[in-house]
């Protein structure tokens, strides 16, 4: 698995394009005033970057080479650069501009838990810092060493720990190494008739260990659960030895150590292996598209669906803005025909009285036996109808399913054109969804206005639970100037995050804390909650060798001091 | 809510009796050699006990009286005695014999979170220990102060915090004070059409806060989830202020603080309030009885049920020994007729070829709309049939449902007759259930033999999950002499617990760690897991004011030193 671009999402040569999407250019021009034909803001070339030489003391270097053999201790400049950060919008802006962070001094690639333990032992012995690295897809600043870090920094890339070790068919559990990427994991399982069923947007470029370390959620969580539900056994190399939690269905052994590792972002140790839920590949799988007259109507329908006896695999509803964006993204003429057909629009507006500007696109997924899927479709169809919704068949859902992992590329596409695009997602109770949505909309509008940009905000409900749901916001704007983008982004992103915690929602549903969300943590989990996390981290890793500064700590904005220095 | 007996389960005057169960006496005589007609081992009378005077410094006393008003600071001897321990078998043996523990110096009863905070503040200021108290039903030693504790000990009884504060109908969440007892909670919710759906064996004598602090599971967890699944928002008074976690459906804010409070047994603070899942009271609710030819066949059926598309509220299967016990417990002649009828027995043995000694009784529960329940019954009926099972209707299930909370009284009934009866429950994967069951059976037999007693071991599967299930063991034996009971119990209980952790299972599925399970904790969650718990507890409560010695610590066997002193 080759690493991602040092300056953007995905592999070199793979990019998002508007050229096969006739309506997208006009849409973007109207939404944020960007002409997609004018690519004006390229990243620096690699040879223009000033990448510092590695500062790796000889005895540490030797110990690392003993731990994993010399060929798997890399001091290569590009390798180190790729491992220096994740893929947050801020990361992309800085990387493209050559504003580099504290680049790790070495990238090591262990092939076994013993090798991971030897790396950690060496790091502790020679007072170095270790940062575990999966796919490098973090958008919360979880992978960057503190700018002020003077100790050697070692990025531990787990890509060689990529095997499904064992499947327990009776227990529907698989024992899997932590460094396996999404597609590889599904392929190894599919060869034996199983699926893990965890499909986050980052799926193609993220790993099992990364999902666990950040409390990831996949698109089919309504059926499969979040990563926290699916992960049972864990093996984690820690400063006091290898933590082993058994693959138990449930246990009452005090505060859950398993739940401490989930979301720990490398601060407690390096996850090497997990025993996770798997399921037989279902006979039937379909995602149906639905249209609702308004976002409010769709939210109520999803709430009733969650409270009903129906079982579905996906619940997703775009608000009106995101619905317009989805329509503008269409490639295939058959879908375009269907959605745009004058007949349908006339029917919806004249016969049903819909305001087409308020219309919302929804996807609901079904999985299982033919009979089960048929029964759920029927039942859900009636529920949708009661809320004024309309089924538009499986075409849009199939297209969504096929294109869903392309979305992260759009940020690079926009940056190439001087515009910022990013996401903020949260979760709250059903009763608070609409008030929260309105508060965030207002906060974003205010932020766009305050920095004088034409912004666009859109949103979808992406995961449903008993008591509430995830709202996933996407925003974009054209910066007033390239130099102003970062500050303007900061204002908009902060306004949205602040609206989350000010209105009873969480700072993130599944993107973790890292450094970029850390300033809102106390407002989310309260000061005693932060104190408990600090007690856990400081007691487990008193020397701060494990990915210091993430989640809690004194260095919430890892990049800030470097930027300040450069501004002088 | 009056407190339980100081010497046994439930309220004074309520007892278990064999007199309305004609087959029980002969069964017990055959199983463990106890003649139920001979009551020979009564507890001491209250006036025979030597209860130490409270040692409460005047300034602390004053501060507590200021915190909750004088009438809610109790120094009463009986009150303090009832709060000194839970209801483990060991607790009962010692209490009955007048071997008292470190009795608390005061019992305080706050009526608000502010009062709880004032109590904790006073305890910290005057270097006292606080032990939160719900229903006092712990069977793991979670409520007893360390025998060596020289500081003042305050039991904080939360019974006045007993209100459902708010129901959010759209989100199906209720905000509830932590001290509410099970029946009161259900009554308050039922008045508005809701149920919590959490029914542990201890239901009548345990509280919401206690369930959360010990990671409780109820009998209908297959539908409602364990307490960890049902508890979303929390308010906990801690040494650094009030911890507040929001009632979020999901979040990725680092290691889960919510999951740290779950199972914390008072070591992180005092839980005052929780926001929990509730559901509308279902239209239809039924528990059906089934018979299976063998325990193995029934376990495979339950495994397939868990992997199927059916949804049920209860899955329970007794092994052959527990099935025999259940039949011996029958009161109602109509049921006796049915189960004992010569016709049925002849049919099962002659026509179906069953060995009636291997036969297993199972209960499967269904809840929801009439249509849903009917569909599930049909589908599950076919599944059961494929595994040789036979539905015996709703009579036995209704009886089980009605009598389920009487079981804890049986331990007192046996102690009155010189016999010990107790439980050990665990959880493991589906593939490991049968090997574990056999290992525990062997371990218990070995232990009974080694101490020279006639013992009886029985078991049921009580909660099903994706990857495994809970096995709930009950054992009983007649001690060789009253003085030997405690040592003999220790051998048997330890052998069973050791078999759990030696065979890939957990030390407890839903009875927590306390002091009595603490010696197996490291074997369950590994040494680094214990280190993480210690980091959390020591960092959060460096002065060890919060229920010290529970889960981890140097004082795993709270009662031991007192006993040693008495033996001198």
Report the pLDDT value the prediction gives residue B133, as an integer from 0 to 100. Answer: 98
Q: Pairing mode, if any, of strands B194-195 and B279-280?
A: antiparallel
Nearest to B177 by CA among B266, B245, B273, B249: B273
Q: Write out chain A residues lying below 8 Å of B531, CB-based.
A: 238, 240, 539-540
Tell which wins on pLDDT, B267 or B352: B267
B470 interfacial to chain A (CB closer than 8 Å): yes
What tens digit of pLDDT does each residue of A18-43 get? Answer: 998 989 999 999 999 999 998 877 89
CB A150 within 8 A of CB A168: no
Residues A232, A229: Cα–Cα separation, whole Å: 8
* Chain A closest-CA separation from residue B465 CA (Å): 6
Question: In this structure, what are the phi and psi dihedrals at residue A529, rounded to the nearest 5 degrees?
Answer: -65, -45
- Percentage helix, strand, coil, to 5, in chain A? 40, 20, 40
In this predicted model, what pLDDT tens digit does every residue of A57-89 receive, in sequence order? 999 999 999 999 999 999 999 999 999 999 999
* pLDDT value of residue A337: 64
Count of residues for chain A? 568
Q: What are the chain B neighbours of A529 within 8 Å (beta carbons)?
A: 243-245, 257
In chain A, which residues have their Cβ closer than 8 Å to the Cβ of B228? 250, 256
Out of A511, A524, A535, name the one closest to residue B535 (CB).
A535
Judged by a CB distance cut-off of 8 A, whether residue B226 touches chain A is: yes
Question: Is residue B517 classed as helix, strand or coil in its secondary structure?
Answer: coil
pLDDT at A561: 33
Q: What is the largest CA-CA distance in chain B?
A: 78
Name the DSSP class of A145: B
The residue ranges of DSSP E strands in A163-260, in sequence order, are 164-168, 173-177, 194-195, 231-238, 241-245
**C-alpha span between A218 and B529 (Å, rounded):** 28
Mean pLDDT, range B183-194, rounded to an integer: 98
Please give the biggest Cα pair distance in chain A: 78
Looking at chain B from residue 478 to 517, which residues have their Cβ under 8 Å from any Cβ of chain A? 504-513, 517
Listed in sequence order, the residues at least 6 apart from B568 whose beta carbon sits closer than 8 Å to its beta carbon are none
CA atoms within 13 A on the CB side of B417: 22
pLDDT in tens, A452-488: 999 999 999 999 999 999 999 999 999 999 999 999 9
Contacts of A535 in chain B (CB under 8 A): 535-536, 538-540
Amino acid A402: pLDDT = 75
CA-based nearest residue in chain B for residue A238: B528
Whether the CB of A216 is below 8 Å from some CB of chain B: the reply is yes
From CA B318, how far away is CA B292, in angstroms rounded?
A: 10
**Hey, is the C-beta of B263 within 8 angstroms of any chain A C-beta?**
yes
Average pLDDT of the residues in B536-551 = 96
Nearest to B34 by CA among B26, B46, B43: B26
Contact (CB, 8 A) for A272 and A210: no
* Contact of A285 with A367, CB cutoff 8 Å: yes
Please state the pTM of the whole predicted model: 0.96
Q: Does the CB of B170 have a partner CB in chain A at under 8 Å?
A: yes
Distance of CA B510 to the CA centre of its chain: 7
Cβ separation of A539 and B540 shorter than 8 Å? no
Q: What pLDDT, in 10s, does the model give residues B91-101?
A: 999 999 999 99
Tens-digit pLDDT profile for residues A84-121: 999 999 999 999 999 999 999 999 999 999 999 999 99
pLDDT in tens, B410-427: 999 999 999 999 999 999
Of A224, A437, A472, A489, catalytic:
A472
* pLDDT tens string B255-309: 999 999 999 999 999 999 999 999 999 999 999 999 999 999 999 999 999 999 9
Percent of chain B with pLDDT over 90: 88
Q: Does A172 touch chain B (CB under 8 A)?
A: yes
Quickly state the pLDDT bin for A555 (edges 50, 70, 90).
very low
**DSSP symbol at B369:** -
pLDDT given at position A40:
78
Q: Is the pLDDT of residue A566 over 90?
A: no
* Chain A residue numbers touching B467 (CB-CB < 8 A): 171-173, 232, 247, 249, 277
Of A348 and A211, the one with more pLDDT = A211
Report the C-alpha gap between B541 and B493 in whole angstroms: 32
Q: What is the pLDDT of residues A428-441, one digit of tens each?
A: 999 999 999 999 99
Angstroms from B147 CA to nearest CA on chain A? 22
Q: Which residues of chain A does B469 touch, with a Cβ-Cβ cutoff of 8 Å?
A: 249
Averaged pLDDT for residues B461-467 = 97
CA distance B452 to chain A (A): 32
CB A526 to CB B429 under 8 A? no
CA–CA separation, A341 vs A243, rounded Å?
A: 59
Question: Rounded to whole angstroms, what are the CA distances from A563 to A486, A549, A566, B95?
Answer: 11, 17, 5, 68
What dihedral do alpha carbons A307, A308, A314, A319 form, nearest 10°? -60
Contact (Cβ atoms closer than 8 angstroms) between residue A378 and residue B371: no
Give the separation between CA B500 and CA A542, rounded to whole angstroms. 33
Give tens-digit pLDDT for B361-398.
999 999 999 999 999 999 999 999 999 999 999 888 87
Q: Examine the residue annotation and report whether A409 is marked as an active-site residue of this protein.
A: no
From the CA atom positions of chain A, what is the Rg in Å?
24
Q: Do A245 and B526 touch (CB under 8 A)?
A: yes
Contact B170 A244 (CB under 8 A): no
Does residue A342 carry a pLDDT above 80? Answer: no
What's the number of CA atoms in the CB half-sphere (13 Å) around residue B520?
27
Is residue A568 over pLDDT 70?
no
Q: Give the pLDDT confidence score for residue A330 in this predicted structure.
A: 82
Element (H, E) at B242: strand B241-245
Distance from CA of A373 to the nearest CA of B (A): 10
The answer, for A277 touching chain B at a CB cutoff of 8 Å, is: yes
Site from A308, A532, A541 to mutate, B interface, most B CB atoms within 10 angstroms: A532
Query: Do A458 and A473 meet the contact criterion of CB atoms below 8 Å apart?
Result: yes
pLDDT range class, residue A531, cuts 50, 70, 90: very high
Distance in Å, alpha carbon of A258 to nearest chain B alpha carbon: 9
* Count of CB pairs separated by less than 8 Å, A with B: 318
Mean pLDDT of A380-401: 90
Kindly tell me if the per-residue pLDDT of B336 is higher than 90. no
Check residue B343 and give its pLDDT.
83
Does residue B218 have a pLDDT over 70?
yes
Q: Do B249 and A513 touch (CB under 8 A)?
A: no
Encode pLDDT of A412-427 as tens digits.
999 999 999 999 999 9
pLDDT classification of B479: cutoffs 50, 70, 90: very high
Compute the nearest-CA separation of B436 from chain A (Å).
13
What lies within 8 Å, CB to CB, of B403 at 6+ separation is B329
* Cα–Cα dist B221/B202, whole Å: 15
What pLDDT score was predicted for residue B560?
A: 38
Q: Which residues of B touch A238 (CB under 8 A)?
A: 528, 531-532
Does residue B35 surpass a pLDDT of 90? yes
Query: What separation, in Å, do the N-terminal and C-terminal C-alpha atoms of chain A show?
Result: 40
Q: Which of A185, A206, A205, A180 is nearest to A195 (CA)?
A: A185
For residue A153, give the 3-state DSSP assignment. strand
Closest alpha carbon within chain A to B170? A431
- Measured from the Cβ of residue A296, the count of other Cβ atoms closer than 10 Å reads 16
Contacts of A532 in chain B (CB under 8 A): 238, 243, 257, 260, 268, 536, 539-540
- Kindly state the percentage of chain A with pLDDT values over 70: 95
pLDDT given for residue B344 in this prediction: 83
- pLDDT-based confidence at B334, cuts 50/70/90? low
- Range with lowest mean pLDDT among A11-15, A86-90, B230-234, B386-390: A11-15
pLDDT for the residue B97: 95
Span of A253-262, B72-81, B335-344, B371-380 with lowest mean pLDDT: B335-344
Q: How far is CA A317 from CA A17, A292, A364, in A?
A: 25, 9, 9
Rounded to the nearest integer, the mean pLDDT of chain A is 93
Residue B563 has pLDDT above 60, yes or no: no
> Given a cut of 90, is residue B107 above it in pLDDT?
yes
Cα separation, A459 vs A256, in Å, equals: 33
Buried b / exposed e across B31-53, counting CB within 10 Å, b at 16+?
bbebebeeeebebeeeeebebee
- Scanning B333-429, the segments in alpha helix (DSSP H) are 333-340, 342-346, 370-386, 395-403, 410-415
Cβ atoms of residues B473 and A215 within 8 Å: no
Q: Which residues pair with A234 in a beta bridge?
A: A245, A274
- R_g over Cα of chain B: 24
Q: What is the pLDDT of residue B564?
A: 30
Whether residue B510 and residue A265 make contact (CB cut-off 8 A), yes or no, is no
Which conformational region is residue A265 in: left (phi greater than 0), alpha (psi within -120 to 50 degrees), or beta? left
| pLDDT of A122 higher than 90 | yes
Cα A513 to Cα A137, A228, A256, A498: the distances in Å are 14, 16, 20, 14
């Amino acid at each position: 698995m080759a690493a991602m671009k040092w300056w953007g999402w995905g592999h070199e040569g793979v990019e998002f394009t508007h050229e096969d999407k006739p309506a997208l250019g006009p849409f973007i021009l109207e939404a944020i005033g960007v002409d997609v034909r004018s690519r004006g803001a390229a990243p620096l070339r690699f040879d223009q970057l000033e990448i510092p030489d590695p500062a790796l003391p000889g005895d540490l270097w030797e110990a690392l080479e003993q731990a994993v053999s010399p060929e798997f201790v890399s001091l290569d400049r590009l390798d180190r650069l790729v491992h220096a950060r994740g893929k947050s919008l801020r990361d992309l802006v800085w990387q493209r501009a050559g504003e580099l962070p504290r680049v790790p001094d070495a990238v090591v690639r262990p092939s076994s838990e013993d090798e991971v333990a030897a790396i950690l032992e060496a790091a502790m012995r020679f007072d170095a810092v270790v940062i575990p690295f999966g796919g490098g897809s973090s958008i919360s600043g979880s992978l960057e060493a503190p700018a002020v870090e003077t100790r050697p920094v070692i990025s531990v890339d787990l890509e060689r720990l990529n095997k499904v070790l064992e499947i327990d068919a009776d227990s529907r559990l698989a024992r899997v190494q932590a460094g396996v990427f999404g597609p590889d994991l599904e392929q190894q399982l599919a060869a034996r008739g199983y699926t893990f069923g965890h499909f986050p947007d980052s799926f193609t470029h993220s790993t099992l260990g990364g999902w666990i370390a950040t409390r990831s959620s996949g698109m089919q969580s309504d059926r499969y659960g979040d990563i926290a539900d699916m992960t049972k056994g864990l093996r984690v190399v820690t400063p006091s030895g290898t933590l082993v939690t058994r693959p138990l269905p449930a246990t009452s052994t005090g505060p859950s150590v398993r739940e401490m590792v989930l979301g720990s972002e490398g601060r407690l140790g390096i996850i090497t292996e997990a025993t996770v839920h798997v399921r037989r590949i279902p006979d039937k799988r379909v995602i149906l598209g639905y249209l609702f007259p308004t976002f409010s109507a769709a939210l109520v329908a999803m709430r009733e669906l969650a409270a009903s006896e129906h079982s579905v695999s996906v619940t997703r509803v775009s608000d009106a803005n995101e619905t317009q964006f989805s329509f503008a993204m269409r490639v295939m003429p058959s879908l375009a025909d269907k959605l745009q057909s004058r007949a349908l629009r006339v029917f919806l507006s004249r016969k049903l009285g819909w305001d087409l500007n308020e219309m919302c696109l929804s996807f609901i997924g079904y999985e299982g036996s033919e009979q089960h899927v048929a029964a759920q479709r029927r039942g859900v169809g009636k529920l949708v109808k009661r809320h004024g919704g309309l089924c538009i068949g499986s075409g849009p859902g199939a297209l969504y399913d096929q294109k869903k992992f392309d979305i992260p590329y759009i940020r690079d596409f926009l940056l190439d054109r001087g515009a910022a695009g990013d996401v903020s997602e949260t979760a709250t109770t059903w009763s608070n969804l609409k008030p929260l949505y309105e508060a965030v909309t207002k906060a974003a509008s205010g932020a766009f206005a305050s920095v004088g940009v034409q912004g666009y905000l859109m949103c979808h409900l992406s995961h449903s639970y008993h008591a509430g749901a995830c709202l996933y916001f996407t925003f974009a704007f054209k910066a007033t100037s390239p130099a102003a983008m970062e500050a303007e982004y900061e204002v908009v992103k902060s306004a949205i995050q602040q609206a989350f915690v000010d209105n009873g929602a969480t700072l993130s549903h599944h993107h973790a804390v890292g450094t970029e969300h850390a300033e809102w943590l106390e407002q989310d989990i309260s000061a005693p909650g932060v104190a408990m996390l600090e007690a856990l981290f400081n007691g487990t890793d008193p020397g701060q060798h494990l990915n210091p500064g993430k989640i809690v700590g004194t260095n919430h904005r890892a990049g800030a001091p470097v930027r300040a220095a450069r501004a002088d």
